[in-house]
Amino acid sequence: TEKFQTGLEDLLSELRLDVLLVDMAAGLNEDTLFTIACSDMLLVTLRPDKQDYQGTAVVLEVGRKLKVPQVYLVMNQSPAGYNAAEVRQQLISTYQCDVACILPHSEAMLQIGGQGILAMQAPANPYVQALKPLVELLKEAK
């Protein structure tokens, strides 16, 4: 773990990065545990899908046991018609964890298909706007 953490710190320093986001596959394995243990912030993404709920609880508990200083939820693919304030309160109540943002389902994200940056092409898009609290959180974290 120390060698991995040193490698991440070297990468941050050499590339002069303010923030390094590491996108990990769902589930817990040795790589995921190393990454969580070295993190200053853990963002756990979940969808409004019953299968995600238990896995989210497990990952949050691991983050807490590994003493990650900041732990947040990110709700992704929230269907149209969901009341974001109600969803936020329900998530906080269920997981005892702050919510960084609630991202709506976005046809625009599907259409762009990794061939561009939605925020550059459509800054007023609801998905892009929903990301703003997360961006602010990351800016404060550096």
Output the tens digit of pLDDT for each of the chain's 142 residues.
Answer: 778 788 888 888 899 888 888 888 777 888 788 888 888 899 999 988 877 888 899 999 999 999 999 999 999 998 888 888 998 999 999 999 999 999 999 888 888 887 889 999 999 999 999 999 999 999 887 6
Please report the sign of the dihedral spanned by the C-alpha atoms of residue 45, residue 27, residue 8, residue 40: positive
pTM for this model (two decimals): 0.84
Q: Of 48, 45, 25, give the one whose Cα is nearest residue 35.
A: 25
Q: Are 140 and 134 in contact (CB under 8 A)?
A: no
Residue type, 131: L
